[in-house]
Amino acid sequence: MVAASTAGEPRPLGGQGTRRSRQVQSRVLILMVCAAGIGGTFQYGYNLTIINAPTASIQVFVNETWLERTGHPLGSRTVTLIWSFIVSLFPLGGLMGALLAGPMAIKLGRRKSLLLNNLFVVLAALLVGFSQMAKSFEMILLSRFLAGINAGVGMSIQPMYLGESAPKQLRGGVALTSASFTALGLVLGQVAGLREILGAEESWPLLLASNVVPGLIQLVLLPWAPESPRYLLMDQGNEESCLLALRKLRGHGDVSVEMKELLAEQAAIRGKTPAAPWALLWNPAVRWQLLSIVVLSSAMQLCGNDSMYSYASYIFEEAGIPVDKIQYYIIGTGSCELATALTCNLLVDRAGRRVLIIGGYSLMAVWAIVFTVALSLRDQLSWMPYLCMGCLFAYILSFGIGPAGVTGVIPTEIFDQVTRPAAYMISGSLLWTNLFLVGTAFPFIVDGLGHYCYLPFLAVCIGTAAYVGFSFLRRRGRAFWKSQKSSTNGTSIPGSMRAWLRLLKS
Ligand SMILES: *[C@@H]1O[C@H](CO)[C@@H](O)[C@H](O)[C@H]1NC(C)=O
Distance 111 CA to ligand 1 centre (A): 48
Express as a percent the part of the chain with pLDDT over 90. Answer: 42
pTM for the predicted model, two decimal places: 0.86
Distance 70 CA to ligand 1 centre (A): 13
Distance 74 CA to ligand 1 centre (A): 6
Residue type, 220: V
Segment (H or E) for 111: helix 110-129
Residue 427 buriedness (CB in 10 A; 0-12 / 13-18 / 19+): buried
Instruction: Give the mutation target among 58, 69, 74 for probing the ligand 1 site: most ligand atoms within 8 A of CB.
Output: 74
The answer to whether position 268 is within a domain reads no
Q: Are 179 and 327 within one domain?
A: no
Task: Tell me the range of 35-39, 105-109, 156-160, 254-258 where mean pLDDT is highest.
Answer: 35-39
Strand segments, DSSP code E, in 37-169 are none
Segment (H or E) for 292: helix 287-302
Q: Are 219 and 330 within one domain?
A: no
Question: CA 351 → CA 401, 481, 502, distances in Å?
Answer: 11, 12, 21
Q: Which pLDDT score, from 0 to 100, does residue 504 have? A: 53
- Is 165 within 8 Å of 29 (Cβ atoms)? yes
The answer to whether position 302 is within a domain reads yes
Residue 436: band (very low, low, confident or very high) from pLDDT cuts 50, 70, 90: very high
* Residues flanking ligand 1, CB < 6 Å: 63, 67, 73-74, 76, 79
Q: Are 53 and 154 within one domain?
A: yes
The answer to whether position 383 is within a domain reads yes
Residue 317: band (very low, low, confident or very high) from pLDDT cuts 50, 70, 90: confident
Range name among 167-171, 228-232, 393-397, 423-427 with the lowest pLDDT average: 167-171
- Is 330 within 8 Å of 384 (Cβ atoms)? no
Question: CA 398 → CA 69, 129, 137, 242, distances in Å?
Answer: 47, 37, 37, 42
Which residue, of 156, 191, 225, is where some domain finishes?
A: 225
Q: Which pLDDT score, from 0 to 100, does residue 149 have? A: 97
Q: Which pLDDT score, from 0 to 100, does residue 24 have? A: 66
Taking residues 82-94, report their average pLDDT: 92
Distance 69 CA to ligand 1 centre (A): 14
Q: Are 345 and 211 within one domain?
A: no
Residue 368 has pLDDT above 50, yes or no: yes
Distance 320 CA to ligand 1 centre (A): 24
Q: Which pLDDT score, from 0 to 100, does residue 57 have? A: 92
| Tens of pLDDT, residues 372-423 | 998 888 888 888 888 988 998 999 999 988 888 788 777 767 777 677 778 8
Q: How far apart are CA 304 and CA 96, in angstroms?
A: 21
Q: Are 287 and 214 within one domain?
A: no
Q: Are 206 and 291 within one domain?
A: no
Q: Are 282 and 401 within one domain?
A: yes
Q: Are 166 and 55 within one domain?
A: yes
Q: How far apart are CA 503 and CA 251, in angstroms?
A: 12
Range name among 52-66, 108-122, 264-278 with the lowest pLDDT average: 264-278
- Hey, whose CA ends up nearest to atom 4 of ligand 1? 73
Which residue, of 204, 225, 246, is where some domain finishes?
A: 225
Range name among 7-11, 340-344, 467-471 with the lowest pLDDT average: 7-11
Residue 505: band (very low, low, confident or very high) from pLDDT cuts 50, 70, 90: low
Q: Which pLDDT score, from 0 to 100, does residue 447 have? A: 81
- Hey, whose CA ends up nearest to atom 6 of ligand 1? 73
Distance 448 CA to ligand 1 centre (A): 21
**What range defines the domain where residue 398 resides?**
276-506
- Hey, whose CA ends up nearest to atom 13 of ligand 1? 76
The answer to whether position 363 is within a domain reads yes
- Hey, whose CA ends up nearest to atom 12 of ligand 1? 76
Residue 174 sits in a domain of what CATH number? 1.20.1250.20
Distance 426 CA to ligand 1 centre (A): 42
Q: Are 384 and 501 within one domain?
A: yes
| Tens of pLDDT, residues 6-60 | 333 334 444 444 666 666 667 888 999 999 999 999 999 999 999 988 988 999 9
Distance 76 CA to ligand 1 centre (A): 8
The answer to whether position 244 is within a domain reads no
Residue 503 has pLDDT above 90, yes or no: no
Distance 346 CA to ligand 1 centre (A): 51
Residue 484 has pLDDT above 70, yes or no: no
User: What atom in ligand 1 is closest to the CA of residue 80?
Assistant: 13
Q: What is the mean pLDDT of the chain?
A: 84
Distance 73 CA to ligand 1 centre (A): 6
The answer to whether position 7 is within a domain reads no
- Hey, whose CA ends up nearest to atom 7 of ligand 1? 73
- Is 254 within 8 Å of 22 (Cβ atoms)? no
- Hey, whose CA ends up nearest to atom 8 of ligand 1? 73
Residue 482 has pLDDT above 80, yes or no: no
- Hey, whose CA ends up nearest to atom 3 of ligand 1? 73
Residue 380 buriedness (CB in 10 A; 0-12 / 13-18 / 19+): exposed
Distance 62 CA to ligand 1 centre (A): 10
- Is 279 within 8 Å of 422 (Cβ atoms)? yes
- Identify which has the larger pLDDT, 370 or 14: 370
The answer to whether position 98 is within a domain reads yes
Q: Are 203 and 309 within one domain?
A: no
What is the CA angle 123-129-135, rounded to 5? 115
| Tens of pLDDT, residues 237-263 | 889 999 999 988 887 677 888 888 888
Instruction: Give the mutation target among 60, 63, 69, 77 for probing the ligand 1 site: most ligand atoms within 8 A of CB.
Output: 63
Q: Are 473 and 358 within one domain?
A: yes
Number of domains in the chain: 2
- Is 21 within 8 Å of 14 (Cβ atoms)? yes
Which residue, of 209, 225, 241, is where some domain finishes?
A: 225
Distance 63 CA to ligand 1 centre (A): 6
The answer to whether position 331 is within a domain reads yes
Q: Are 212 and 286 within one domain?
A: no
